[in-house]
Structure 1
Amino acid sequence: MSSDNPYKNSLNNRLKAFELSESEQNQLALDSHIPFQVAVVSNLLSISRDPIIKNLTDLDTRELRILVNIGSYGPIAASDIAYQSRLDPYSITRAIAALAKKELVEYQEGASRSKPVLLTANGQDIYKKVIEHLKTREEKLLEPFSQEERKLLGELLQKLELNAEALLATEVADCQKQGLGVTRDHKEIERWFKRTNK
């Protein structure tokens, strides 16, 4: 990081919470386990934990994530939102229905079977307020990083996402070959992997 010193003391204090038990061998050191670290950061940055977002809208976390996705990429189909956000397509369909009931999104006129959706004027109002805050939040979050670090972080996260998708798709295929159960969410990961690698 471009300004490491203010973070060393905070990091040392944080790592004290991760002292491994001496009673077991081969423990997993979560403080250096990348999937755990990514999940912790994701938990901290969850829209549901953001008090400013909570004061901007009463939408639940999933509805808000989908509204932001539709505002950024609409008109867009539920399957494309699932692929972009890596969320369960069935819950996306339910959230879109809830947003439509609140008159924040509408189905595109004359659309094909996939029924792309776009924001209504009310949806656009919420979208503008939310993304203004999200952009400010991102800038503050990345403040201690140099431009090179920001670029590298983005590239590494993209690489990690694609490798996670490939790993999970391989595990799904292996489970199916062994006759083990897989859920529709597992099968969706396999479809995403095929779409990414077509």
Structure 2
Amino acid sequence: MSQQNDPEFDPRDFTPYLLAVASEQSSLAFSEVYKSRYGMTRPEWRVLFHLGRYGPMTATEIGRRGRIHKIKISRAVRALEEKRFLTRRAIERDRRSETLDLRPPGRAAYADLAREAAAFEQRLETRIGQRDARALKRVLRKLAQLE
């Protein structure tokens, strides 16, 4: 029997669908902040976040941590470099790799956006309640295999 004809199956209650919709809505809402202030794309924000939070690292490390495709990282790095938010430094032992690091304007943008992210997070928590917010994060970490 196909899912179309299955009265028990409702795609609106299908977990991957719900996760995708919730992710897209929350991500789009926060993207207004980094787009309007810094003209950033989502991949640029994610690269900036990793460098701001964890310090200098390679694009490969960012891709592994953030599960971001290398082409998106490459474009984001180029754009952040044009904005003078980051620097690249060749790794002596492997000239094909570079260490990426934030410059002062990038660190300032990260600090600003980290404050905005905390406020955004607080608004989400207020909306769904502290208990549900904690439970949601716990479940999402399990699904993402981050615990």
Q: What's the TM-score bracket when you normalise by the shorter of the two chains?
A: 0.7 to 0.9
8 Å Cα contact 1:48-1:61 kept in structure 2: no
Gaps of 5+ in 1: 1-23, 164-198
Shift of 1:118: 1.0
Counterpart of 1:117 in structure 2 is 100
Fraction of identical pairs, as percent? 23
Amino acid in the other structure paired with 1:96: V
Relative distance call for 1:89 and 1:129 in structure 2 (3 A) is same
Q: Which of 61, 69, 75 is equivalent to 1:94?
A: 75
Relative distance call for 1:112 and 1:129 in structure 2 (3 A) is farther
For residues 105 and 37 of structure 1, the distance between their equivalents in structure 2, rounded to whole angstroms, comes to 35
Counterpart of 1:146 in structure 2 is 130
Shift of 1:49: 5.8
For residues 72 and 111 of structure 1, the distance between their equivalents in structure 2, rounded to whole angstroms, comes to 24
Larger radius of gyration: 1
The number of equivalent residue pairs is 139
Counterpart of 2:48 in structure 1 is 67
Q: Which of 149, 161, 164 is equivalent to 2:144?
A: 161
Counterpart of 2:60 in structure 1 is 79
Q: Which of 103, 115, 136 is equivalent to 2:119?
A: 136
Relative distance call for 1:139 and 1:48 in structure 2 (3 A) is closer
Gaps of 5+ in 2: none
Superposition RMSD in Å: 2.4
SS in 2 for 1:115: strand
TM-score (norm 2): 0.80
Amino acid in the other structure paired with 1:99: L
Amino acid in the other structure paired with 1:97: R
TM-score (norm 1): 0.62
For residues 95 and 112 of structure 1, the distance between their equivalents in structure 2, rounded to whole angstroms, comes to 25
Provide, for residues 152-187 of structure 1, a one-character-per-residue CA deviation record: whole Å limited to 9, x for no partner.
Answer: 322211111139xxxxxxxxxxxxxxxxxxxxxxxx
